[in-house]
Structures are given as structure tokens and as C-alpha cells.
A and B are shown apart, each in its own frame.
Chain A
Amino acid sequence: MTVKTTHTLKKGLANLEVFSATLQGLAEADSNIIAVTSDSRGSGKLVPFAAKYPKQIVEVGIAEQNLVGVAAGLASTGKKVFAVSPACFLTARSLEQIKNDIAYSDNPVNVIGISAGVSYGALGSTHHSLHDFAVLRAVNNIMVVAPGDNFETEMAIRQAAALEEPVYLRFGKKPMPFLSDNKDFALGKGREIRGGKEVAIVATGETVWPAMQAAMLLEEEKGIQVGVISMHTIKPLDTALLESIASRYAAIMTVEEHSIYGGLGEACASFLLQSGYQKNFKLMGIPDEYTVTGSQLDILNHYGISEKGIADEVLKLLR
């Protein structure tokens, strides 16, 4: 079967570049900002940071458990620490360190998972991070965030740096589109970036853009009004916004670059069901299998996380 690429991205900065630039700005003003990397400064776009602020970067080598422990130790002395590593390793190899040394011990580290989801595409399932929302949602005392564009990334980094609590931030690799003129951003509060009334698509991270494209396509071709919410913070979930959506829309769909188990979709479903809402509901994500080979876009398209795939599911939901 030939996989057709049904959406393309506008050229823009990858959110990792925005992360790096934002962190440099913060480091300029505050010598307590420290990046800790595990041979990941290149993929984390932190080479310019390292060149400019060599005293504010700690390299621990390929040692993710130590990365998180060292970050916790630094944070315990008052440093504002960003622990950077590929999301797949950081949230699996170091899960116990994130749980115990950061979250349980209340050491306010910013845990930065880079090249998340299927960003590493053809490198295969060892390098995919489709479990991170699930495992970290189950860890007490850590926020889970996946920004949907460069604006959200910059705001999330700035706000996380100012927080005195642990935050997990998940970033992909590819250039990010610009989503909205809406300049409201607060960690913990979702952004309704496109209004509608029939179906609300609640998406996160890099899936917000194909959700937007699907919404535009449906309006253009079918006249269906689809709202899009960037639910950048998955935990704590913005339940007030979900309640509002449930009262205004006929159906709700969630989209994420994550296993169908334990991510945004299950978080929304759990809240809605327990709150007594009875809605048409569709959860889109990566099914419970080791993914097909291909680029990130190939993989997302294969599983229908694309303009056309999402639009088709919206139509099914409305039937």
C-alpha cells in the first residue's frame, strides 16, 4: 500500500530551536539556569547554548538515570534545571528517577523529552516515545506538557522556568506551524484555537496542526464547523475547558501522537464519563502495535493522524 502524504507543514522553526533560543534568553538573565544533557546537546539544539554559557551546561554522557539524579541534586540547591534527553529514553530508563528524585522529592526539575512520539520515524520502536504521557500521568506531582506550536513552546518554557514544581515538556523534531493569533497561554489551561459547534477536536503537540487542517477542510468541503483545542497541558487536565466544550459541541474527538492507551484521549474520556457527559467520542492515537516503518509523517498518515484521516473520523462520528 502506498502511503499518501495528505498534509504538509508550513516552514517554520522546530520547537526545539525555540526551546534553545528561549533557554538562552533565560540563561542570560539568570546564572542559575542550568541545562543537563546526556550526549544530547546536538539533537536538543543546545550547541549554541553550550557555546554561549559553558558554565551553565552539565554533560553527563549517555547515562539517563544519572542525568535525572544529577538534575535533582542541582535543583535541590536552588538551580533551575532543564534535563534534556530523547523522550523515549528519558521517560523509560529514568522513570524511577523522575518519580523518586524529582516528583516525590519535590525537586523542581524541568524534564525535557526531545524527539518525542514518532519523531525518529524510521529508527524504529526503540526510539519512539508513545508511552510518556501514560507513565508520567501516573506519577504524582509532575505536570505533563506538549506544546502545539512555537508560541506555545516559548511560553511553556518561560512559565516552567518560573514554576517551583516539576514539569515534563515534550518536543518533536520537525518545523512547527503557527496555529493562532490567540495570545493567551497558561500552563494547565487549554487553548481553543478554532471555534466550532458540531465537533470539537482536542489535540496535543504536533497533532494540533493536522487537526486544524482537517477542521479547515471539513468547513470548506462540507460546511461542518469543527472546533480545535490545543490541549498542551495533559496533566493537570483543563477540566473546566472540557466541561465547556462538552456543553457546546455535539461530539468530541481527541488526537495525539501517543499510544491509544493512557494519554490525552483516555484522560479526557475518563473525565467526561465520570462527570456524566454522554457524547459521541472518538480517541485517535497510535494503536497498540509496534509501528510501521517510515518517516514521522508516513507513520502518522498510516494511522490516520492526518488532515484526511482526521476529517474522515469526524464524518464517521457525525453519522
Chain B
Amino acid sequence: MTTKELQIKSLEYRKKVLQYIKKAKAGHTGGSLSCTDILNVLYNEVMNVSPANFKDPNRDRYIQSKGHSVEALFVVLADQGFYPESNIETLCQYQSHFIGHPTRKVPGVEQNTGALGHGLPISVGTALAGKMDSLDYRVFTLMGDGELLEGSNWEAAMAASHYKLDNLVAILDYNKLQITGAVKDVCNSEPIDQKFEAFGWSVKHVDGNDVEALSKTLKSAPFETGKPSFVIAHTVKGKGISFMENNIKWHHGVPSDEQYADAQKELDSQLVELSKAII
């Protein structure tokens, strides 16, 4: 895909994320919008995974450790053809499989997640199995920066470098906010890059809302042979909607009718601009 096509995809995904959160009257709005570009690039540019090869042992795996941004994942998986998009209309409703965190009952979801600090250890095990079986699949896991406060991540970080898992790529959705406030104020975890480097990972920073930069960075993994890769993707919580950006109220805020209309209008105008640029 061209950069412009990817940018248009991201805007369309964001429109849908808001649409389904509005319909469900629930969802993690800010975090879904911050990681939309990452999911877009992973599924459309980087990973070898599709409905056709989902049972292939050599498919790439995506494990969403920050499970609370599941709305973005549901929209992207529908776009990949894992299920009809209309299925997401049942989001958070009685007996729906489309609950507020990833479950394997939804086609395309690799692991049940939601409790924080679980994705990286599972990803280490999955990557390790790939090494044992001499398969060349890669494991991508998406983590939140608030989530990094969970100690299990650091247990897994040590194991990943100990086992030289260069088939493992952890991506940090580094939007710098958690539910209470700024991560640095809640419990400062800086300097994250130096910590992961000290733990034996190869680390790169990237603009996590720049699809071109993301694509280039993620395609270059592993950054070093014999080391797991850590991508610090600098993102904006609530990305794309002016009144949601960097505002913790939108961690799991649901837009009112008026806010929803304003948000869609903003995204539409960005789409128009992009379309003009293509012509």
C-alpha cells in the first residue's frame, strides 16, 4: 500500500472505532485511537497473517497485551476479512463474543488478554516455540506504557533476551497517559529505552502515528540478530480528534451525539484533504 492509502485506512478505521464505541456505549476510546496506525501497518504491511493462513503453524502472531484497545483490533480484523464488519455491532452486548477485551472466540484473535502484563510472557513462549521448531514466524505484541508498570513484563523481558528471541517484536503504544493521569506522574517508568537496552533488547523510537515511519521501522525488525526488538512508538492518546487528544477523560469516554458528529466531521475533513492530495 502507498503511504496515502495507509493514511486513508487509518482514518477509516478511526471512524469505525468511534462508530462502534458509540453504539456499544462503552469502549477504550483514547487507547484505540492511539494504536490504530500501529495495527494498520502491522496487518496491512508487515505481518504474514490472514484468514486464509490462520491455522498455518508458520503464520506471524499478533498478541495484544494492552487488551483494552480491542475496538481498534476488531475493526482491523474485520477489514482483513476475518469476519463481517457487521459482527462488531454486537460489541459489549448480551452474549456477544465481541467483548471489551480480546478473546479467541473472535476469529483472528490469538490469545485472550485484558489483564495487563500478560502479553509479553505469552509472546516469549510463542517465539521460543518458533525457535525450537525452526519456523520463521515472528511474534508481535502491543503493549501500553501504563502496562509496563506490571512486573511480569520485566520477567519476560529478561527471558526474551536470555533466549535471544530475535523473532519477537514488542511495540509500545507510548501515549504517555494512563487512567489516572500521566504515566510519569503515576509512577515514572523512564528511561524506558535504556531499561530495555539494559535488559538485552534492541530498541528503536518511531512516530507511532506516522504510518510510513512505522512501516519502515517494523519491517526492519529484527534490529539486531540474536536480540528481541523493542519499538517505542510515540503516539497521541485520542489521536485524530482534537478534543480527545491527550485528554485522559477519553481513556474510556463515550462520545455524546454532538461529540460523535464533531469527531466524524473532523475525520471526514482529514479524509477529504488526503483524497485531494492523491489526485
| Residue with the highest number of chain B CB atoms closer than 10 Å, among A66, A68, A105, A106 | A66
Q: A74 contacts B159, CB within 8 Å?
A: no
Q: Distance (Å) between the CB of B106 and the closest chain A CB?
A: 13
Q: B112 contacts A70, CB within 8 Å?
A: no
| Residue with the highest number of chain B CB atoms closer than 10 Å, among A61, A73, A79, A106 | A73
Q: B125 contacts A100, CB within 8 Å?
A: no
Q: Distance (Å) between the CB of A279 and the closest chain B CB?
A: 40
Q: A73 contacts B104, CB within 8 Å?
A: no
List the A side residues contacting B117 at CB < 8 Å: 65
List the B side residues contacting A193 at CB < 8 Å: none
Question: Per-residue 0/1 for B33-63: is the Cβ within 8 Å of any A Cβ (1 yes, 0 no)?
Answer: 0000000000000000000000001000000
Q: A55 contacts B132, CB within 8 Å?
A: yes
A74, B127: Cα distance in complex, Å? 8
List the B side residues contacting A97 at CB < 8 Å: 118, 121, 152
Q: B158 contacts A72, CB within 8 Å?
A: no
Question: Per-residue 0/1 for A59-89: is the Cβ within 8 Å of any B Cβ (1 yes, 0 no)?
Answer: 0110101101111111111110000000000
A63, B158: Cα distance in complex, Å? 10
* Interface assignment of B107: CB less than 8 Å from any CB of chain A: no
* Interface assignment of B233: CB less than 8 Å from any CB of chain A: no
A77, B130: Cα distance in complex, Å? 8
Question: Per-residue 0/1 for B112-146: is the Cβ within 8 Å of any A Cβ (1 yes, 0 no)?
Answer: 11110110111111111110110000000000000
Interface size on B, residues (CB 8 A): 31
Question: Per-residue 0/1 for A126-137: is the Cβ within 8 Å of any B Cβ (1 yes, 0 no)?
Answer: 000000000000
Specify which of A73, A76, A96 is in contact with B115 (CB 8 Å cutoff). A96
B132 nearest in chain A by CB position: A55
Specify which of B104, B114, B120, B133 is in contact with A106 (CB 8 Å cutoff). B104
Question: Per-residue 0/1 for B156-170: is the Cβ within 8 Å of any A Cβ (1 yes, 0 no)?
Answer: 101100110000000
Q: A69 contacts B132, CB within 8 Å?
A: no
* Interface assignment of B89: CB less than 8 Å from any CB of chain A: no
Q: A69 contacts B127, CB within 8 Å?
A: no
A-B contact pairs, 24 of them (CB 8 A): A55-B132, A58-B128, A65-B117, A65-B152, A65-B155, A66-B159, A69-B125, A72-B111, A73-B122, A73-B125, A73-B126, A73-B127, A73-B128, A73-B129, A74-B126, A76-B110, A76-B125, A77-B129, A78-B129, A96-B115, A97-B118, A97-B152, A101-B112, A105-B111
B residues with CB within 8 A of A = 57, 104, 110-115, 117-118, 120-130, 132-133, 151-152, 155-156, 158-159, 162-163
